[in-house]
């Protein structure tokens, strides 16, 4: 899986081949089952796999914008509070 996200209340999993699957679990439950070395809960809406990250850009107020492949419909913003831990996870 490239990433998991919430789309209008429905949790979806997106593969690296850009196939979407509906998951009948909460994002919190999925997060507990995934390896934290390769998956990161970047915000309330997204859990992403390290290999799906294409670019990371600085955003205002210490936040980050993460671009992933396959491309997500929503902008993925990492909060200032999570940015340092996220950079460490990605090895920046």
Residues with Cβ within 8 Å of 67's Cβ and at least 6 positions away in sequence, in order, are: 53, 54, 55, 56, 57, 76
pLDDT single digits (tens) 11-59: 999 999 999 999 999 999 999 999 999 999 999 999 999 999 999 999 9
Write down the pLDDT at residue 44: 96
pLDDT single digits (tens) 59-72: 999 999 999 999 99
Taking the model in full, what pTM does it have?
Answer: 0.94
Residue 92 confidence class, pLDDT cut points 50, 70, 90: low
- Rounded mean pLDDT, 63-87: 96
| CA-closest candidate to residue 39, choices 50, 29, 24 | 50
Write down the pLDDT at residue 18: 97
Q: Which two tokens stand for residue 24?
A: 């009948």
């Amino acid at each position: 899986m490239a990433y998991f996200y919430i789309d209008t209340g429905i949790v979806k999993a997106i593969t690296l081949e850009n196939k979407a699957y509906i998951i009948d679990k909460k994002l919190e439950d999925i997060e507990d089952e995934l390896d934290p070395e390769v998956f990161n809960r970047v915000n309330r809406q997204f859990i992403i796999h390290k290999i799906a990250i294409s670019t990371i850009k600085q955003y205002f107020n210490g936040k980050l914008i993460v671009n992933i492949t396959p491309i997500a419909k929503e902008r993925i913003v990492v909060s200032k509070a999570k940015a340092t831990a996220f950079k460490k996870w990605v090895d920046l």
